[in-house]
Amino acid sequence: MSRRAIAVLVVIGALFVAPSTLANTPQEELEQVEAEIKSLNAQIAEGRERESEVATALREAEVRLSSLNQDLVTAQGRLDAAEARVGAGEAELTRIESILAQVARDLAETRLSIVEQAEEVRLRAAEMYMNQSFGLSGVLMEMDTVATAAIGWEYAGSAVADAEALVRDLEALQVQEEIQRVALEEQQAAQEQVITDLEGDRALADTERRLVEQAVSSATEEAAAFTALLEQVKSDIGQLEGEINSLEADSKRLEREIIALQTYPGERPSALINPVDGILTSAFGYRTHPISGVRKLHTGVDYGAGSGTPIYAANRGRVIYSGWYGGYGNTIIIDHGGGLTTLYAHQSRLRVSSGQEVALGDRIGDVGTTGYSTGPHLHFETRENGIPVDPRKYLG
């Protein structure tokens, strides 16, 4: 497996975080749950990045594998051609060996003929020598008639001609022997060259096949490793999402408990003041979230203001929550009575505590960009019995 895959595995192994022990009060529990949801969301985002990296690496490995498989097809073609040459070479070698054997037999027969012919020449020479020593001319002179003398001369001429023919045959056999010897040497050289070529073709074919098969095996293993890793990443993300679903259910339960804690006396106020000196940048209603890119309900309004700008209580009431609240960051919730609550999110500093009573216009915090935020601003909500409503219903 590649270093990249190992690195991804190490990171994935760090994605699991044991859940913390929840605090005692619903508000503290809600804060703890929202913090865990934030942590799990960060881990999921990191897991998504790893999933993308692994998927990219897998695609790259599959491309390499496809290319190597094509190389293997090409190499197999070259291997087939090499093996065809080997087959042709082996057939040529068989043919040469057959010719070589025939040439060797012919050469042996020629040499035997030379020996026999040489012996015949030797015997004829001996015979002629003996006749010359006896006196061939004397024999002819002793013949009593012209007819017998003519016969004698004819015999003598025939003997000489036979001797000359024997010598010529011997010389021809010697020339034939030389030709056959040269042919034998040429066939032996051809045989050696064919054997050398065959050995080279076999070695080249075996080497190329082995290299390509090794490359394909390596690419196949890499692709399989990335496939398994991708499945593991998806499984880990699924587990994290399951944890978030469970925590979100806890969050809703705690919200209901907090609503049940709303005990501020009096009627629901009919009007609220603007909680900050800023410009309205995003209204209540459905919109595309600036970070997640998902279209969903924007449960409040946003005011653009510089970091540290004072935030004021929109009406009198009791602070029922002051602390970190998941994607809202540093948040304050005020119960105004009659089921109406206001929420002030993304603060850089919280200036009041849970249980504290505030008057209309009291400074409760400072504008910031904590939680899921793209820049300093105040996210302001109004809820009736826990259900978000458009704050402009109450703002003058």
User: Which range has the top average pLDDT, 135-139, 234-238, 253-257?
Assistant: 234-238
| Confidence (pLDDT) at 217 | 83
Lowest-pLDDT range of 11-15, 125-129, 289-293, 307-311: 11-15
| Confidence (pLDDT) at 319 | 94
Does the pLDDT of residue 186 top 80, yes or no? yes
- 275/218 same-domain check: no
- 289/143 same-domain check: no
- 183/323 same-domain check: no
* Mean pLDDT calculated for residue range 111-125: 73
Q: Report which of 118, 124, 115, 114 is spatially closest to residue 163, judged by C-alpha positions.
A: 124
pLDDT band with cut points at 50, 70 and 90 for residue 139: very low
- 235/347 same-domain check: no
pLDDT band with cut points at 50, 70 and 90 for residue 38: confident
- 82/101 same-domain check: yes
Lowest-pLDDT range of 59-73, 85-99, 248-262, 371-385: 248-262
Total domains in the chain come to 2
- 229/330 same-domain check: no
- 63/16 same-domain check: yes
Does the pLDDT of residue 224 top 60, yes or no? yes
* Mean pLDDT calculated for residue range 103-126: 74
Residue 216, domain CATH: 1.10.287.2610
Q: Identify the domain containing residue 42 by its residue range.
A: 1-261
| Confidence (pLDDT) at 260 | 67
- 135/235 same-domain check: yes
End residue of a domain, out of 212, 245, 261: 261
* Mean pLDDT calculated for residue range 189-206: 79
| Confidence (pLDDT) at 16 | 39
End residue of a domain, out of 261, 282, 310: 261
* Mean pLDDT calculated for residue range 167-172: 74
| Confidence (pLDDT) at 229 | 76
| Confidence (pLDDT) at 15 | 40
Does the pLDDT of residue 159 top 60, yes or no? no
- 184/243 same-domain check: yes
User: Which range has the top average pLDDT, 50-59, 182-191, 337-346?
Assistant: 337-346
| Confidence (pLDDT) at 13 | 45
- 274/255 same-domain check: no
* Mean pLDDT calculated for residue range 1-22: 43
Lowest-pLDDT range of 120-134, 345-359, 374-388: 120-134
Average pLDDT, the chain: 76
pTM: 0.42
| Confidence (pLDDT) at 296 | 66
Does the pLDDT of residue 394 top 80, yes or no? yes
pLDDT band with cut points at 50, 70 and 90 for residue 188: confident
Residue 332, domain CATH: 2.70.70.10
Q: Which two tokens stand for residue 205?
A: 């074919």
End residue of a domain, out of 230, 261, 292: 261
| Confidence (pLDDT) at 70 | 80
Please tell me which residue, 87 or 273, carries the higher pLDDT value. Answer: 273
| Confidence (pLDDT) at 133 | 47
What digits encode the pLDDT tens for the residues 243-298?
667 656 655 765 676 666 667 778 899 999 999 999 999 899 886 655 555 566 78
- 253/295 same-domain check: no
- 117/193 same-domain check: yes
